[in-house]
Structure 1
Amino acid sequence: MKKYKGAVFFDYDGTLVDEVDHIKTVTPKTLEAIRRLQDNGYAALLCSGRTKRFLEADIEHFDGAVTCNGSYAEVDGEVLRDIYIEEDLLHEVIDKYFIRDTIIQMDTQDVTYYLHNDEEFFKYFCRLFSLPMEWYAPWKYWEKQHISKLTMNYKAPDVFEDFKKEYADTFECAKHVRENFFDITLKGVTKGDAVVQVADDLGISKENLYAFGDSDNDVEMLKNVGTGIGMGRCSDAVKETADMFTQTTKENGIYHALRELELI
């Protein structure tokens, strides 16, 4: 791996792209800022709940990525972290919660698996968001896969609280901005935990770490860097955590913050 003087971690949804303002890929002004940041010796790293597959529109512009809310990380093509849910535990969750009218997706870095009964839902989902159906595949329970993260879609409002209570010692649960969705990773696996490991592996001290985020699942990441930057329209939890704030994605908030920090 290269030697970097520091690293900047970028959340993706709500930070680099923004559904509210219909920004689906990194803007030219933000790309300019990232290139200048890299030219100045800093690693520019994605840090997202998404898998690598769902970051492919922009991942090539970065030096690496933390994905699936911290379950996986790679820098300069080298895998630094690959934490996955064991088969027995995965089967237990499916057996208990599939019968509660949920839709469970199972994420690897390349393919998202679904249960056979949910195929029509995922076909509809792909049409709705213009996603390639080949990114998805029916789960074959007899084949071992590195499932980095689960996402559960539920109808009954008590499912989320029941799951959190039942698996409090086993899983981390991160609620989506959209209602009735939440991400599931193993206990202790967060963006913040992954940032610490990546920084250690790169030999970068905390004061030379920066992070941009907007949502509750970015809080641990913002806490574990020297300077955490909250985006425009950030959540209340981010407002309580971030060291400084910038504008929205549409207003080129990342560019302006990096200028203010004299990183570009």
Structure 2
Amino acid sequence: MADKSIIFFDIDGTLLNHEKQLPSSTKTSISQLKEKGHEVAIATGRAPFMFKDLRTELDIHHFVSYNGQYVVLNDEVIYTNPLDGQALEKLTAMALEHEHPVVFMDHEDMRANVPEHDYIIESLRTLQVEMPAVDPAYSQGRPLYQTLLFCPEGEEEQYEEAFPEFDFIRWHPVSVDVIPKGGSKANGIEQIVRRLGFAKEQQYAFGDGLNDIEMLSELHHSVAMGNALPVVKKAAKYVTASVEDDGIWRGLQLVGLL
């Protein structure tokens, strides 16, 4: 295994372009990595049910989802880190008082706590996923790995102060991911690499978003996409071209994997 590596890819803005399409050069690059015997994995903030088709298309069987809270190796769940249920109940009540909707998410589905809301529609449409059904009681009696809190930029600060049990990661002007405190893609990745036995020098990651910063900071070989935010590029060891400009293919060449 000394000459083989494992490469983790973010989805939105990394594997998929801004139209949520998979560039042909990216698909070819993933295939070439697998032909060389490398392990390929996904590390995303998305729910598992949001990228089944992508996993099938790329023949990928390892993934870190919900920003590290639900981890799968060889199609088997190996790690979960659910939200604190009591704290989430209180957060939901506070959000209702401020007219900020939430969407509860487990490994199979997601449900909104209020009927159709502009913030939910505006942000989830960018992911090109179906709108959630409404079930205010969906958080009760089941483990949830992430919750979406919908509020304008800056308004999440009141929740950060009130709920030290959670981390709040903004991914859209009107939406933030709510995950367990200290949870991250980097932690989820560790669950996989420890079991597969890859040394630090054999670990690679590609990303572009704020939720990729810890992953890019901690992995030995990290590559930020050209379309990444400046703070994300600063966290990575290398910067490749944008996703629209064959960034994955160019980045894999840059680090010597292709």
In the superposition, the TM-score normalised over structure 2's length comes to 0.89
Name the structure 2 match of 1:145. Answer: 142
Write the distance in 2 (CA, Å) between the matches of 1:17 and 1:137: 29
Report runs of 4+ in structure 1 exceeding 3 Å deviation: 119-133
Specify whether residues 248 and 142 from structure 1 end up closer, same or farther in structure 2 by C-alpha distance, changes over 3 A only: closer
Name the structure 1 match of 2:162. Answer: 166
1:68 aligns with 2:63: no
The more displaced of 141-150 and 189-198 is 141-150
8 Å Cα contact 1:195/1:224 also seen in 2: no
The 5 Å alignment of 1:40-189 reads 40-60=36-56, 61=58, 62-115=60-113, 117-119=114-116, 124=121, 131-133=129-131, 136-141=133-138, 143-155=140-152, 159-167=155-163, 169-176=164-171, 178-189=172-183
Q: Deviations over 1:120-164 (max 9, x none)?
A: 65995699566445x645243585222110111115x65311111
8 Å Cα contact 2:112/2:135 also seen in 1: yes
- Cα offset for 1:218? 0.4
Q: Deviations over 1:4-42 (max 9, x none)?
A: 9321010111111122xx2x1322211111011112121
Write the distance in 2 (CA, Å) between the matches of 1:247 and 1:159: 33
The more displaced of 254-263 and 69-78 is 254-263
Specify whether residues 112 and 236 from structure 1 end up closer, same or farther in structure 2 by C-alpha distance, changes over 3 A only: same
Q: Alignment partner of 1:218: what SS?
A: helix
- Cα offset for 1:56? 2.2
8 Å Cα contact 2:119/2:151 also seen in 1: no
Instruction: Give the gaps of 5 or more residues in structure 1.
Output: none
Write the distance in 2 (CA, Å) between the matches of 1:221 and 1:111: 26
Specify whether residues 96 and 132 from structure 1 end up closer, same or farther in structure 2 by C-alpha distance, changes over 3 A only: closer
8 Å Cα contact 1:191/1:221 also seen in 2: yes
CA RMSD of aligned residues (A): 2.5
Name the structure 2 match of 1:206. Answer: 200
Specify whether residues 124 and 191 from structure 1 end up closer, same or farther in structure 2 by C-alpha distance, changes over 3 A only: closer
1:234 aligns with 2:228: yes
Q: Alignment partner of 2:245: what SS?
A: coil
Specify whether residues 144 and 25 from structure 1 end up closer, same or farther in structure 2 by C-alpha distance, changes over 3 A only: farther
Q: Alignment partner of 1:57: what SS?
A: helix
The more displaced of 201-210 and 83-92 is 83-92
Q: Alignment partner of 1:221: what SS?
A: helix
In the superposition, the TM-score normalised over structure 1's length comes to 0.87
Q: Alignment partner of 1:250: what SS?
A: helix
Q: Deviations over 1:44-67 (max 9, x none)?
A: 111111001111231222232111
The more displaced of 201-210 and 77-86 is 77-86
Give the counterpart letter for 1:25 in structure 2: Q
8 Å Cα contact 1:229/1:245 also seen in 2: yes
Instruction: Give the gaps of 5 or more residues in structure 2.
Output: none
Write the distance in 2 (CA, Å) between the matches of 1:124 and 1:171: 24
8 Å Cα contact 1:214/1:231 also seen in 2: yes
